[in-house]
Structure 1
């Protein structure tokens, strides 16, 4: 009987040692987030002013903004944070929260910026007040093909 208890203790000790040896501390390094690249042509798919949908009031179908190599170009201009072509910069290329537009010959203007993926497509959401601070526009843009 004593021999049986000894064997059980040895087996129990062996199981504990094997379990402890199988637990490895693994260092997990977060993956590097990709830089946000907004290069390309973008069109307005939704626009509001002070929460009111502008789709039925304004034709946004021809408006485009093209981003390329730190510059932007406006096509078929509409009420926007800037009214001339120029340069742009993101406050953080990896986790942008603000985009700054610098129109040719003008002071830089910054606006809130989000870059979500919605239904599998990247979108830009810009919130701004051109001119009158009582009017807040929100443009949701999607990249054109």
Structure 2
């Protein structure tokens, strides 16, 4: 009889613990976090450039070259080899998750290229890959906002 009483008390204790645990569990609704639209407006300068894997940053002076983005338009300052050679319009393939940027020089045809938009050492960067003219030459420009 004593064994049954202990068994009964243990079962009662387990049921009480299970009830308390189930009552303390709350179903949490996941927070919906809206992805912000990527904003590339501003003035960008080249901080690193390569052609076919060769570093050009120490060979060519990129300090004065700028790509200025404003609400769907861009302009180039102190032109260097770039995807386009004149000012015009730009667009992103997806405003929240862009993987491609399209430049349309005034009077020209649209030219699209892949790009990334990472934060490196606390600063936003644009990495643009392109081949102006000769498809055997592949340039990669890493740009950082100047303002």
* Match of residue 89 from structure 2: 87
- Structure 2 equivalent of residue 62 of structure 1: 64
Structure 1 gaps, min length 5: none
Equivalent of 2:104 in 102, 114, 127: 102
Aligned to 1:73: 75
Q: Deviations over 1:32-72 (max 9, x none)?
A: 11110001000000000000111222110100010011100
1:138 maps to: 140
Other-structure match for 1:50 = 52
The CA RMSD measured in Å over matched residues stands at: 1.3
Q: CA separation in 2, counterparts of 1:69 and 1:110?
A: 18
Aligned partner of 2:18 among 16, 19, 24: 16
SS at match of 1:88: strand
CA distance in 2, matches of 1:127, 1:82: 12
Q: Normalization by structure 2: what TM-score?
A: 0.93
Residue in 2 aligned with 1:6? 8
Once residues 55 and 13 of structure 1 are traced to their aligned partners in structure 2, the CA distance between those partners, rounded to angstroms, is: 71
**TM-score of the two chains, using structure 1 as the length reference:** 0.94
Question: Which residue of 1 is the match for residue 28 of structure 2?
Answer: 26
| TM-aligned CA deviation for residue 6 of structure 1 | 3.0
Q: What is the CA-CA distance between 1:96 and the residue it aligns to?
A: 0.5
Instruction: State the SS of the aligned residue for 2:83.
Output: coil
* Deviation by residue 1:76-104 (Cα, 9 ceiling, x = unmatched): 00000001000000000111100000000
Q: Secondary structure at the match of 1:62?
A: coil
